[in-house]
Amino acid sequence: EAGVAQSPRYKIIEKRQSVAFWCNPISGHATLYWYQQILGQGPKLLIQFQNNGVVDDSQLPKDRFSAERLKGVDSTLKIQPAKLEDSAVYLCASRYAGDEQYFGPGTRLTVT
């Protein structure tokens, strides 16, 4: 079984630029999560999808972050414009029916 795929693995941008991340969850996993992990902290949930609907986006900075999951499979997370404090690893995870979430390798974003 293929795992959660994310791209790119690394991205360096200047502040005020835009960036987009892509996630392909495990096949058949209806629930998809985007997390932000700042160095030295645990992952923080940004948004949760159930199929293509948003379940929880209470911690998503909606003035600059957006996410979509068209057709309930792949998902993209966008930041526009980026700030220095957005430097972090962005993790995508998916879940089927159990309690375990399966994480992708993450995208490391550096904003200069």
Task: Tell me if 11 sits within 8 A of 111, measured CB to CB.
Answer: no
Least CB distance to other proteins at residue 46 (A): 10
Least CB distance to other proteins at residue 71 (A): 23
Is 58 or 71 the residue whose CB approaches other proteins more closely? 58
* Cβ count near 82 (within 10 Å): 23
Q: Cα 81 to the chain's mean position, in Å?
A: 16
According to CB under 8 A, which one of 34, 36, 106, 109 is a site residue for other proteins?
Answer: 106
Binding mask 33-72 for other proteins (x = CB under 8 A): -------xxxxxx--x-------x----------------
Q: What distances in angstroms separate CA 48 from CA 13, 14, 45, 85, 94, one per listed residue?
A: 26, 27, 8, 22, 9
Q: How far apart are CA 46 and CA 104, in angstroms?
A: 15
Residue 100 interacting with other proteins (CB under 8 A): yes
Least CB distance to other proteins at residue 108 (A): 8
Residue 88 interacting with other proteins (CB under 8 A): no
